[in-house]
Amino acid sequence: MAAELAAAGHVQDPRWRGAFEETPRHLFVPRFYRDESSVVDGDNPGSHDEWLAAVYSDQSLTTQQARVPGTELMWATSSSTMPSLMARMLELLAVAEDDRVVEIGTGTGYNVALLCHRLTDTNIASIDIDPTLVSAAGTRLARLGYHPHLAVGDGAAGIPERAPFDRVIATCAVPAIPTAWITQLHVGGVIVTDLRGEIASSLLVLHKTSVHTVEGRFQTTAGHFIWLRPSAANPLRDGETLAAVIDRDDAEQRVTDLDPFIVEHPDVRLMLQLLDPTLGPTWRTRRGDAELLCLLSPDGAWAEVDTDIRGGKYAVVQGGPRRLWDEAERAGRWWEQHGRPTRDRFGLTAHADGTGHYWLDAPGQPWITFDSAGRRDPH
């Protein structure tokens, strides 16, 4: 597996390649879910070969699930990330030999083991909301002779008793950078995380440029990590329930000449998410002979766009407290007018007081500013 990662360019530093070669992933993934209802267990002779092949392939493996409250849905609450993505994030971390590193999201413990191999376990700390995961990870790590500092708690709070750190790596997704990650980081330190909403995900590398500020660019790589969440038993990021109701009583109709599929472009989706981090999922559905592109937000705003063009126009129906398609259309046109910028041209400047701004190309040119309550102000 390590040789394949290196051949594909995912591992370039020979020290990280050595970590992948000498850290047994199967120890940290004794079983995984094939789907919601079936488990592939390495101790089962009938599935041993399938298990071992999967463990040493470049794929993410779900290792724990929980039911979404009020539904029959089972969502992943822990997984072993695809090794190529792990390698990418570890190399982006740009560690030095004596760096103190905190990992947010212990999970199986495999990433902690890679860090311990590359550095030293005395300089590694990790935190997870789920005590069962932390306990199991500690046992597995001890089998390799590693005894890093493991904590149970909210990853958004970091680990203040072990701070300050030189590096923060988050193997979970966040919609915004928690203040504690900034305050517990040395000036000159680095944060590597997955900034994710409901419609887009992108790795983000931030450098601490002053006592209260981090700044950096988005990567072209998506993370799609499991949410940092306040409850171990609830897979939802807000710890509550899925809730969004479409009320068609106030529906309005209009037309647009903008191709609706523009909102499925990954760079546009990231833009939409930065403009409105509460924006809910988008999906396609059929109604009669029409294929509809649908948008939804937790506040009840919704839009449906007929993807069949008629007379150079697409039919739009939308409703709720705001007009989602109007917002998406403005973002799409801005993207086209600015030369269709790729996501790695966007960046973030975030301050410890919760304020900051997103920018295009240069940090000194704010594109969207936000306050400590998360309110956005596009420029």
Residue-level pLDDT at 238:
73
- Please calculate the CA angle 269-275-277 and round it to the nearest 5 degrees: 80
- Mean pLDDT for 116-143 is 98
Nearest CA among 192, 151, 194, 175 for reference residue 236: 175
Q: Give the confidence band of 241 by pLDDT, cuts at 50, 70, 90.
A: low
- The pLDDT > 70 percentage for the chain reads 98
Nearest CA among 284, 273, 110 for reference residue 202: 273
Which residues, 6 or more positions from 37, have their beta carbon under 8 angstroms from its beta carbon? none
What angle, 0 to 180 degrees and rounded to 10, lies between the N-to-C axes of helices 324-337 and 266-275? Answer: 120
Q: Is the pLDDT of residue 256 over 80?
A: yes
Q: Give the strands of the sheet with 124-128, arranged side by side.
A: 149-152, 124-128, 101-104, 165-174, 185-196, 201-210, 213-218, 346-351, 356-360, 366-370, 376-378
- Mean pLDDT for 230-239 is 81
Q: What CA–CA distance (Å, rounded) separates 49 from 184?
A: 44
Residue-level pLDDT at 364:
87
Over residues 6-42, the pLDDT tens digits come to 999 999 999 999 999 999 999 999 999 999 889 999 9
- Burial state string for 77-86 with b = 16 or more CB within 10 A and e = fewer than 16: bbbbbbbbbb
Domains, the chain, ordered by start: 83-218 (3.40.50.150), 248-337 (3.30.160)
Q: What CA–CA distance (Å, rounded) separates 349 from 97?
A: 27
pTM of the model: 0.95
Q: Is the pLDDT of residue 374 over 90?
A: no
Residue-level pLDDT at 302:
94
Residue-level pLDDT at 239:
64
Backbone angles phi, psi at 15, to 5 degrees: -70, -35
Assess contact for 193 and 180: CB atoms under 8 A: no
- Mean pLDDT for 122-149 is 98
Nearest CA among 173, 214, 216 for reference residue 352: 214
Q: Is the pLDDT of residue 181 over 70?
A: yes
- Mean pLDDT for 161-185 is 97
